[in-house]
């Protein structure tokens, strides 16, 4: 078999670079020796053509609208599995046997409580703090509480830190919510499954009995599955870059949370719902669609477009179905915002601007409607994304740490600043 090569002609010389063929997806040109052989860098702002790592966790075919975790389509995982099974799959690479699943669930469940002293940490935040601000701080502080799982060279500690974060993230997220609304924290209930426990920690109060609605718990679980991992997106790349320096896993996940908060990434679910509320009624849609197309207006249709998907986001399709199931269960027949969302989607999908640019609804377009119906305020939407994505970040971080080829991430730049010049004393400056 002939090895594939890519040839670059640069300044009168010819250079060959190896080309790797992945199991699926486009070929990859290995340019790691480009600088040492040619003296030039590549320039790729936004990493639109750059594979930053080798990974066997998640695959996206953006053209076809396909998402696979360890080879399994997201539709099958969402319909037939549950979130903790997806966590196992992402971490270990295969679907668990019954014994493996029981053992994993037991290990995660045993870590759901947080150190009691962490309760006092919350009191340092203003009551009106955005829950994502609390998440950044509290998750970062985990490394101050769990020193015994910060040695990244110890495989056992890496796994304990991983289980701790998967288990504690719903507890911390629920605490951020309870603190935000001024209600007492609710301890985890280890009799319940992951999603039911989370709903109980968010919505129960000590004064009343709380029964988890199984339909809503199933919807919550599906939402967690849909957000579990998404290849080398901005927050995952942030986690990998932070981890490449040898930083402890809690600090790396806190870095990922900070990145996810932005409205172009995980913050889009909050922004999408705010936008639907602002549009308010179907008759206002053309005005907003016109604004989204106007280059002089910074407004964008939130929940539309994706760097990788140039087709319908497969998660959005499942999310749309979950939205209908939740609204039906809650007896919400005419949600005016759902009406606006469906009409907006219809108009955008037939508009030449959106067709040409391949802008389709992404997961965030419908997730906000579902989360709102479940009872979450918009400020919690990205927190829920964080809770679910933690496992993906951890799986990607572990893969990187366990890769013998791993080196610190250190991009270069196209420098366009001043050349070297001499310091001018203040009294001589013009």
C-alpha–C-alpha distance, residues 141 and 29, integer Å: 40
**374: closest CA among 195, 209, 225?**
195
> What residue has token string 């320039």?
43
In angstroms, give the least distance from the CB of 379 to ligand CMC: 17
Residue closer to ligand CMC by CB (options 219, 292) is: 292
Residue closer to ligand CMC by CB (options 155, 297) is: 297
Residue closer to ligand CMC by CB (options 107, 310) is: 310
Residue closer to ligand CMC by CB (options 186, 239) is: 239
To the nearest 10°, report the CA torsion of 396, 402, 406, 411: 20
In angstroms, give the least distance from the CB of 233 to ligand CMC: 5
Count how many Cα atoms sit within 13 Å of the Cα of residue 165 in the half-sphere of its side chain: 37
In angstroms, give the least distance from the CB of 413 to ligand CMC: 19
In angstroms, give the least distance from the CB of 263 to ligand CMC: 6
In the annotation, is 147 catalytic? no
Distances in Å between the Cα of 168 and the Cα atoms of 109, 146, 395 are 9, 12, 16
Please give the residue whose beta carbon sits closest to ligand CMC in the complex. 305
C-alpha–C-alpha distance, residues 107 and 322, integer Å: 29
Residue closer to ligand CMC by CB (options 147, 357) is: 357
Catalytic residue among 148, 364, 403, 422: 364
Catalytic residue among 227, 229, 306, 313: 306
In the annotation, is 364 catalytic? yes
**202: closest CA among 383, 419, 420, 1?**
383
State whether residue 58 is helix, strand or coil.
strand
In angstroms, give the least distance from the CB of 385 to ligand CMC: 8
> Hey, how many other C-beta atoms are within 10 angstroms of the C-beta on 307?
15
60 φ, ψ (degrees, to nearest 5): -120, 130
**The token pair that represents 105 in the structure block:** 């669930």
In angstroms, give the least distance from the CB of 166 to ligand CMC: 20
> Hey, how many other C-beta atoms are within 10 angstroms of the C-beta on 251?
18
**The token pair that represents 287 in the structure block:** 């005005």
16 φ, ψ (degrees, to nearest 5): -105, 135
Binding site for ligand CMC (CB under 6 A): 46, 230, 233, 264-266, 268, 292, 300-307, 357, 359, 362-364
Residue closer to ligand CMC by CB (options 219, 302) is: 302
Give the active site residues. 306, 364
């Amino acid at each position: 078999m002939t090895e594939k090569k890519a040839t670059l002609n640069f300044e009168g010389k010819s250079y060959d670079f190896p080309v790797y063929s992945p199991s699926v997806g486009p070929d990859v040109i290995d340019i790691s020796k480009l600088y040492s052989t040619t003296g030039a860098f590549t320039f790729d702002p936004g990493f639109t053509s750059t594979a930053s790592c080798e990974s066997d966790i998640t695959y996206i075919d953006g053209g076809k609208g396909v998402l696979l975790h360890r080879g399994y389509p997201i539709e099958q995982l969402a319909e037939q599995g549950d979130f903790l099974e997806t966590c196992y799959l992402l971490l270990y690479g295969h679907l668990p046997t019954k014994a493996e699943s029981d053992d994993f669930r037991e290990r995660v469940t045993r870590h759901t409580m947080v150190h009691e002293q962490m309760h006092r940490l919350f009191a340092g935040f203003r009551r009106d703090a955005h829950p994502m601000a609390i998440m950044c701080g509290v998750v970062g502080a985990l490394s101050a509480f769990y020193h015994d799982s910060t040695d990244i060279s110890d495989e056992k500690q890496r796994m304990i830190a991983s289980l701790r974060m998967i288990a504690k993230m719903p507890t911390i997220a629920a605490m951020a919510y309870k603190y935000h609304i001024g209600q007492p924290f609710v301890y985890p209930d280890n009799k319940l499954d992951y999603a039911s426990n989370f709903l109980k920690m968010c919505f129960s109060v000590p004064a009343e009995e709380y029964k988890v609605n199984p339909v809503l718990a199933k919807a919550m679980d599906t939402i967690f599955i849909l957000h579990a991992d998404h290849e080398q997106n901005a927050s995952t790349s942030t986690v990998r870059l932070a981890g490449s320096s040898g930083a402890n896993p809690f600090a790396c996940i806190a870095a990922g949370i900070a990145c996810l908060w932005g409205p172009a990434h995980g913050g889009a679910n909050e922004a999408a719902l705010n936008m639907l509320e602002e549009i308010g009624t179907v008759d206002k849609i053309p005005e907003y669609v016109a604004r989204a197309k106007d280059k002089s207006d910074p407004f964008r249709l939130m929940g539309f477009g994706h760097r990788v998907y140039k087709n319908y986001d497969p998660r959005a399709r499942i999310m749309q179905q979950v939205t209908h199931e939740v609204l039906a269960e809650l007896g919400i027949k005419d949600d005016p915002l759902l009406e606006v969302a469906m009409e907006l989607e219809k108009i955008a999908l037939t508009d030449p601007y959106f067709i040409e640019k391949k802008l389709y609804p992404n997961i965030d377009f419908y997730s906000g409607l579902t989360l709102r119906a479940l009872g979450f305020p918009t400020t919690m939407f990205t927190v829920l994304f964080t809770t679910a994505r933690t496992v993906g970040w951890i799986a990607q971080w572990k893969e990187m740490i366990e890769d013998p080829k791993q080196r610190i991430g250190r991009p270069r730049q196209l420098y366009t600043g001043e050349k070297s010049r001499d310091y001018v004393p203040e009294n001589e400056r013009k």
